[in-house]
Amino acid sequence: MAKKQIRAKLRKNRAARPRKTDWTRRFAEDEEGLADEVAVERISGKGELTRKRTVTLSRDEASNSAVDSDLIKGRVLRVDGLISWVAEPQGEVHPCAVRRVLKSLETDARHVVVVGDFVQFRLSSEGEGVIEHVEPRQGILHRTSRGKQHVLVANVDQVVIVASAAEPYLKPNLIDRYLLVADNEAIQPLICINKIDLVDPAELLHTCGVYAQMGYEVLLVSASTMWGIGHLRSRLADRVSVFAGQSGVGKSSLLNAVDSQFKLDTGDISSANRKGRHTTTSAQLLRLQIGGYVVDTPGIRQFHLWDIIPEEVAGLFRDLRSYVSLCHFPDCTHLHEDGCAVRAAVRDGCLDERRYASYTHIVESQKS
């Protein structure tokens, strides 16, 4: 067994105040006692002033994962505040807290443990556990929230981007943002347009055709009439999928239609603004009877991209990508430059105008 030492940076609110600033009050209370204080502080931040600590990890050189005979491997099904519900491979579920040192490590993520995480936890005699280790994540669906990385779910291989044909109205720009994250994280995207019973399906032909030409699969379904549910069910079998989209599009209703064992809460559209209400309050990992897992996530109205700079956006747009190398300037932003092949393709009708407008909006939002 090999041991590895790393320097871990702690959150600021988890360490003691680095320098004492109450000298005046302390002098008034105990003038003689100050003589015993250390007269010199190291500006370099060593010793008590540093927020970094040396952590020794025990690792198996073959598997490169933490090894402890007392630890149990599991997967996070749901996170309720400070409690994470973790399932063992045999199916038994345990409520677990997170070890304090994990919460103290300074990271860009808002949450230490998220739904879908593979973890190792220590179980007490009362059946409660403590998460000691979180395995490296793959297949992450995330966004920016309050300047931090908000991971919605981890370790998935497919994202079902749920939109609605009406009530609330279709938002292709939001679909584009999900597609960017899916392609950037190597997650298979599946566009699912619900509530087609409320409109004439012919109205969706242009939108569906634009995405289909780029190689994206689009399903037209209706949770209320069960139209297309069989096709959706077949795309979920033996895969780990996350249902994502704005509030009110029918994510929970679709899951209830896909698997009769699910009894997820559903809500109505607001009569005031025709927007969805938040019915699902937290993400949860659910096992399908046909094999595989699905994650139901709360609806969101804004999806700001995380860790994608404006210069990377064009390369993640499948329809723009082939024109980027044809631009006159190698650093072309495709917004205003002369000799831009992307803008020329839009003028010639080779690129969809709405997709280009979506590109410009995302680039401008990533600059701010």
Token readout for 86 is: 């973790």
pLDDT value at residue 64: 43
CB 307 within 8 A of CB 254: no
Position 60 pLDDT exceeds 70: no
Greater confidence, 243 or 146?
Answer: 243
User: pLDDT band at 36, cuts 50/70/90?
Assistant: low
Residue type for 99, please?
R
- CA dist 250 and 265 (Å) reads 11
Tell me what pLDDT residue 325 has.
Answer: 93
Q: Which amino acid is at 247?
A: S
Q: What is the spatial distance between Cα 243 and Cα 190, in angstroms, rounded to a whole number?
A: 10
Return left, alpha or beta for 141; rule: phi > 0 is left, psi -120 to 50 is alpha, else beta: beta
Identify the pLDDT of residue 100.
84
Whether the Cβ atoms of residue 102 and residue 112 lie closer than 8 Å to each other: yes
Show Cβ contacts of residue 100 under 8 Å, excluding neighbours closer than 6 positions. Answer: none
> Would you place residue 287 in the very low, low, confident or very high pLDDT band (cuts 50, 70, 90)?
very high
Burial class (CB in 10 A: 0-12, 13-18, 19+), 54: exposed
CA distance 281 to 296: 10
The stretch 319-348 carries a mean pLDDT of 95
Per residue in 230-281, pLDDT (tens digit) is: 999 999 999 999 999 998 899 999 999 999 898 887 755 544 444 545 456 6
User: Could you report the per-residue pLDDT of 115-131, keeping only the tens digit for each?
Assistant: 999 999 999 877 789 99
Mean pLDDT computed over every residue of the chain: 84
Residue 301: pLDDT band (50, 70, 90) is confident
Between 22 and 145, name the one with better pLDDT: 145
Report pLDDT digits (tens) over 187-197: 999 999 999 99
Average pLDDT over residues 154-181: 95
- Calpha distance 59→62 (Å, rounded): 9
CA dihedral 74, 77, 79, 85 (to 10 degrees): -50
Is the pLDDT at 35 greater than 80, yes or no? no
Averaged pLDDT, 84-93: 92
Mean pLDDT of 7-15: 59
pLDDT single digits (tens) 316-325: 999 999 999 9
Q: Which of 51, 319, 68, 123 is nearest to 211 (CA)?
A: 319
**What pLDDT band is residue 163 in, cutting at 50, 70 and 90?**
very high
Give the H/E segment covering residue 254. helix 251-258
pLDDT at 286: 94
Q: Is cis: bond before 189, omega within 30 of 0?
A: no
pTM for this model (two decimals): 0.80
Q: Which range in 14-18, 22-26, 63-67, 305-309 is most confidently predicted, on average pLDDT?
A: 305-309
DSSP letter assigned to residue 222: B
- Residue type at position 351: L
Do 242 and 153 meet the contact criterion of CB atoms below 8 Å apart? Answer: yes
**b vs e for 132-161, b when ≥16 Cβ sit within 10 Å of the residue's Cβ?**
bbbeebebbbbbbbeeebbbbbbbbebbbb
Q: Tell me: pLDDT of 34 over 70.
A: no
User: Which pLDDT value is given to residue 122?
Assistant: 92
Domains of the chain: 2-59 (no CATH), 71-136 (2.40.50.140), 148-296 (3.40.50.300), 310-367 (1.10.40.50)
Give me the pLDDT at residue 234, please. Answer: 96
